[in-house]
Chains A and B, each alone.
Chain A
Amino acid sequence: MIVGEQKPIAEIKESIAPYSKILILGCGTCVKTCFAGGEDEVAVLASALRLAFKKDGRKIEIEEKTIERQCEDEFIQEAAVAISRNDAVLSLACGAGVQDIARCFVKTIVLPGVNTTFIGILEKQGTFTEECLGCGDCKLAIFGGICPVTRCSKKLLNGPCGGSRDGKCEVNPDIDCAWQQIIDRLKTLGQLDNLRKYIPPKNWRASHAGGPRKLVREDHVI
């Protein structure tokens, strides 16, 4: 899932200050799961902002709505009426959702309420970890399903670096050494020989370094 974190209230308050009618639009998929932009977070943010503006003696109308996904036009249309009756939309979706709303409603001010952070997993309740950089050239088969590009601080494809201590990364001892995990996992799978192969330098053109990417599935295009 895409993991995000709600922006500080002060930053949000400043961004919506010029407007008197705001729609806080939540997204019921990834950012709901990471407690950044689902229905509950919309309600809390709306309440906090109402209190904050009232304290300042300012009246602001805040409408709350959450749709299933802000990255698909079909779902976005469900918010069309609510969007049309407000001065601006404060989107609690990831950056993709914010941009899709802006693309669909060209005359509407769309403001981000979430900092999109990474592609990750729910490691345990309340803890999310980054697992994928979206590099466009997945090599997980070689590394036993553990991505050194994302999880090794040095992004080493031919590791380990030799600096880890007790399975922890020397760059940040709070994180596990990805290469220790890769070796442990390949041992378990009986595939340690995978590491005898030299992995050539990564082709970063498939990643964002090659500019914005596009995927077209001709069989789905009408």
Chain B
Amino acid sequence: MEFEPKITIFYCINSFSESALSHVDEIDHVDIKYIKMPCSGMTKDVYLLRAFEAGADAVIVLVCPEGKCRFVEGNIRAKKRIKRTKSLLDEIELDGERLSMFNLNPKDKDAAAKIIKDTLLKLKDLGPNPAA
């Protein structure tokens, strides 16, 4: 990769913990910023856009599996807001592919590392954030 990718991860504290990525060597060179949320229902379009304004090349939102949200519908709300924000990113030609959401089972310790690796592969095609 010709640039050092910056990724912002918004996560629900019930689905993921930052320590899950602390021993993954392949992502050592990646600048990751974490934003902790008590529930993914707090996901808001403006915060996602501001992450891109702050220079993120990709934004990832990690939420609980559907039906497992402690606050019942937080992850459903997050899914809908992310869908809308993705279309907004497409509209401004920043590419909605830069934003993605994953339902994460907290027991699956390797899932987050795989998501980051897949995102890095995707960023090889997408390139750096053109509005950074």
Please count how many residues in chain B sit with their CB below 8 Å of the partner chain's CB atoms.
Answer: 15
In the complex, what's the smallest C-beta–C-beta distance from A11 to chain B, in angstroms?
10
User: What sequence of 0s and 1s flags, for each residue 18-62 of chain B, a beta carbon within 8 Å of any chain A beta carbon?
Assistant: 000000000000000000000000001110011011000000000
Contact residues, A2-60 vs B (CB, 8 A): 8-10, 13, 40, 43-44, 47-52, 54-55
In contact, B91 and A51 (Cβ under 8 angstroms): no
| Interchain nearest-CB distance for B50 vs A (Å) | 6
A-contact bits for B94-132, CB 8 A (1 contact / 0 none): 100000000000000000000000000000000000111
Distance A18 CA – B100 CA, assembled complex (angstroms): 34
Q: Are B91 and A54 in contact (CB under 8 A)?
A: no
Say how far A39's CB is from chain B's closest CB, in angstroms.
10
Number of A-B residue pairs having CB atoms within 8 Å of each other in the complex: 42
The answer to whether A44 touches B49 (Cβ under 8 A) is: yes
Q: Does residue B76 face the partner (Cβ distance < 8 Å to A)?
A: no
Whether the pair A51, B52 counts as a contact (CB closer than 8 A) is yes
Whether the Cβ atoms of B46 and A9 lie closer than 8 Å is no
B130 touching A9, Cβ below 8 Å: no
Is the CB–CB distance between A47 and B93 below 8 Å? no
Mark interface residues in B51-92 (1 if CB within 8 Å of A CB, else 0): 011000000000000000000000000000000000010011
Q: Determine if A47 and B50 form an interchain contact, defined as CB atoms under 8 angstroms apart.
A: yes
Smallest beta-carbon distance A9→chain B, Å:
5
Contact B49 A51, beta carbon cutoff 8 Å: yes
Q: How many angstroms from the CA of A67 to the CA of B44 in the assembled complex?
A: 22
Closest to A53 in B: B131
Instruction: Choose among A8, A44, A49, A55 the residue that contacts B45 (Cβ–Cβ < 8 A).
Output: A44
| Cross-chain contact of B92 among A40, A43, A51 (Cβ < 8 A) | A51
Among A40, A48, A50: residue with most chain B CB under 10 A: A48
Q: Which residues of A are found within 8 Å of B94, using beta-carbon distances?
A: 51-52, 55
Do the beta carbons of A44 and B46 come within 8 Å of each other? yes
Which residue of B46, B49, B50, B131 contacts A55 across the interface (Cβ within 8 Å)? B131
Q: A10 → chain B, closest Cβ, in Å?
A: 7
CA distance A49 to B91 in the complex (A): 11
Cβ distance B72 to chain A, nearest Cβ, rounded Å: 15
Instruction: Across the interface, name the chain B residue whose C-beta is closest to A8.
Output: B91
Q: How far, in angstroms, from A9 to B93 measured CA to CA in the complex?
A: 11
CA distance A52 to B44 in the complex (A): 19
B75: min CB distance to chain A, Å: 17
A40–B46 touching, CB < 8 Å: yes
B132 — which chain A residues lie within 8 A by C-beta? 54
Given contacts A44-B45, A44-B46, A47-B46, is CB(A9)–CB(B131) below 8 Å? no
Chain B residues engaging chain A, CB cutoff 8 angstroms: 44-46, 49-50, 52-53, 88, 91-94, 130-132
Which are the 8 A-B pairs with shortest beta-carbon distances? Answer: A47-B49, A52-B92, A54-B131, A55-B131, A51-B131, A43-B46, A55-B130, A9-B91
> Could you write out 9 A-B pairs with CB less than 8 Å apart?
A10-B91, A40-B44, A40-B46, A44-B49, A47-B49, A51-B131, A54-B53, A55-B94, A55-B130
